[in-house]
Amino acid sequence: MTEVMTDQGIQEILSQLGIQEINNGASTGGKWFKTRGERIESYSPVDGRLVATVNAATEVDYEAVILKAQEAFKVWRTIPAPKRGEIVRQLAEKIRFYKEPLGKLVSYEMGKSLQEGLGEVQEMIDICDFAVGLSRQLYGLTMHSERPGHRMYEQYHPLGIVGIISAFNFPVAVWNWNTALAWVCGDVCVWKPSEKTPITAIACQQITKEVFDANGVPEGVSGLVIGGAEIGKLMAEDTRVPLISATGSTRMGKSVGATVGARLGRSLLELGGNNAIIITPSADLKMVVPGAVFGAVGTAGQRCTSTRRLIIHDSVYDKVKEALVKAYAQLRIGNPLDQHNHVGPLIDKAAVEAYLDALNKATKEGGKILVEGDVLTGEGYESGCYVQPAIVEAENHFQIVQHETFAPILYIMKYSGGVENAIKLQNNVPQGLSSAIMTNDLKESEAFLSNAGSDCGIANVNIGTSGAEIGGAFGGEKETGGGRESGSDAWKVYMRRQTNTINYSDSLPLAQGIKFDL
C-alpha cells in the first residue's frame, strides 16, 4: 500500500529522529548556530510537498565552525584510536536504532525507493563496523636500515580537518563513508551537504550529537555548514582544511581540485561515471536483464554507478534488445515509499529538463528511440519529477553518449569480433568509474580484468555496474577524479605518512657510507 505523506507524517519522522525545530544551518556537533543566511526550502520530489526549511550558513558561521574544529582536533587526535573506534561503534548502534525513520526521510527528501533509502542507512552502519575494526589496524611498516644499530619504520598521523562536500543522490552514506574512517584516524570533519537534501544532513548531525554528547567528545569533531556553492568555495580555498573530499559532477570536481591544488592541499574526488556493461555471446540472459535494468533505472538513474551504456555482441544483439524492451514494459513508476514500485522521481524539475534535453540531443545525433521517454503526469505524479525510463540505440561516439546524464536513459550499441573491440568501446569515454562484463568465457573475463582491459576503478564480472560493498575501495579514474573512499586501504588518504629512524648505537654513521669527520 502506498504511503501518502502528510505534514503530520513529516513531523512525526523528524520527531522520531530527535529534530524538534529546523531553522539553523550550522553546527559544531554540540551547538547549533542561529544562522541568518538565505532560506533553503527542501521540497520532496515524491509529491512536491515542503519537507522543511532551513537558514543557510554564512561566512561568519563557517568561520566559527572551522575554529571550533581546530580546537577539537588538538584533543581528538590524542585519544587512542581504539577508543575513537568505540565511539564510532556506538554511533553504528544509534544508526541501527534510527534506521527506519532515517531511511524513510532519505527516501522522501531525495526520491529514491524506500528499500534503497534503508539500504543507504545500512551502508552507514556497515562502514561504522568496518571503521571499528580499522581503529586497531592503522598499520605502518618496519624497514631494515643500511646503518648498523638503526631501526626504520613508518607511521601514520591524522591530517586535521577533513572537509566533506557531498551530493544529493546519496545524502547520508557518502558523508559517513568519510567520517567513520576520518574519525578513527583522528581527524575532525566539517560537512557541506547538498542544498537539495539538507534535512537528512540535520538528522545525521542530530544522531551523531547524541552519541558524542554521551561520550564527552569535544565540540567541533563533527561540524555541519549548510549552504550553496559559496560555502564549498570557502572550504576549497581554506588552507586550514588539508583534505577536501568532494562527491558530485565532474564540473564541480575540476573546480574544487584546481582550487585545492593551487594551495597544495589534498583532494579526494568522486565524480561522474559513464558506466557500461559488455554483453558477450556466452552471457546468461537471466543475469543480463536484471543487472542491466536495475543498473539503468535504480534510483531513477541518479547513481554515479548507474548503467548508461550496453555494449552488446552483434550475434545476440536482437535477442538482448527484445528482452530489455519487454522488461521495461513491466516497470512500475511511482511513489518510492510504495515498495511495489521500481522507479521513483528525479530530484527536481531541472533534472527533468536535463533528461528531456539528452533525449532530444540523442535523436538529433541519429539515435533511435526503442523505449520512449516522457514526463509523467496525472494522479501520483503531481511533483512533475517522474519520467519514463528510456532506451536509445546509439553510437558510442555520439556527443551525448560521451556525457553523463543523471537520469534513466540507457544507450545500447553493437560490437563485433572479439571482446577487445568491446573493451575499446567501453574505455572510449572521458569517465572511468564502474564497468562490467557478462560472460561465461574465462578468457573474456580475464581479458576484461587484465592490464589491457577495463580502465575503470571498478570492474565486475557477471554482476552489474551499480552498487558496491564497503569492503572494497570505491572510486574511479580519468574524469571520475581518481579518489578512493570506503574500504581496503582508503583510510590512508585521511592521514599523513611519516618515516622514522631510531639510532640505538653509540656512533653516528651516515647513510650511503658518507664520511663527515670533524
The DSSP bridge partners found for residue 163 are 190, 244
- Catalytic pick among 270, 444, 479, 485: 270
Residues in the chain: 518
- Catalytic pick among 185, 189, 204, 304: 304
Would you call 185 a catalytic residue per the annotation?
no
Spell out the SS3 assignment of 302-325.
Answer: CCCCCEEEEEEECCCHHHHHHHHH
Number of Cβ atoms within 10 Å of the Cβ of 122: 16
Helix (H) or strand (E) holding 247: strand 243-247
| CB within 8 Å of 350: residues ≥ 6 apart | none
CA 399 → CA 303, 367, 396, 402, 435, distances in Å? 21, 11, 8, 5, 20
> Can you give the C-alpha Rg of the chain in angstroms?
25
Q: Whose CA is closest to 156, among 182, 127, 126?
A: 182
**Opening angle at CA 203, ends 22 and 230, nearest 5:** 70
* Distance spanning both ends of the chain, measured CA to CA: 88
CA 154 → CA 151, 157, 186, 399, distances in Å? 10, 10, 17, 48
| Alpha helices for 77-170 (secondary structure H) | 81-97, 99-110, 114-134
Cα(375)–Cα(361) distance, integer angstroms: 16
Q: Would you call 224 helix, strand, or coil by DSSP? A: strand
Q: Whose CA is closest to 384, among 424, 352, 362, 415?
A: 352
Helix, strand, coil percentages (3-state) for the chain, rounded to 5, are 40, 20, 40
Q: Name the grid cell of 206.
A: 542530530
Asked whether the beta carbons of 55 and 43 are under 8 A apart, the reply is no
What is the four-CA torsion angle of 231, 236, 238, 243, rounded to 10 degrees?
120
Asked whether the beta carbons of 318 and 370 are under 8 A apart, the reply is no
Residue matched to cell numbers 547524541: 210
Taken in order 176, 182, 188, 190, the sign of the CA dihedral is negative
Cα(350)–Cα(358) distance, integer angstroms: 12
Would you call 270 a catalytic residue per the annotation?
yes
Q: Whose CA is closest to 220, among 204, 208, 236?
A: 208
Q: Please list the active-site residues.
A: 270, 304
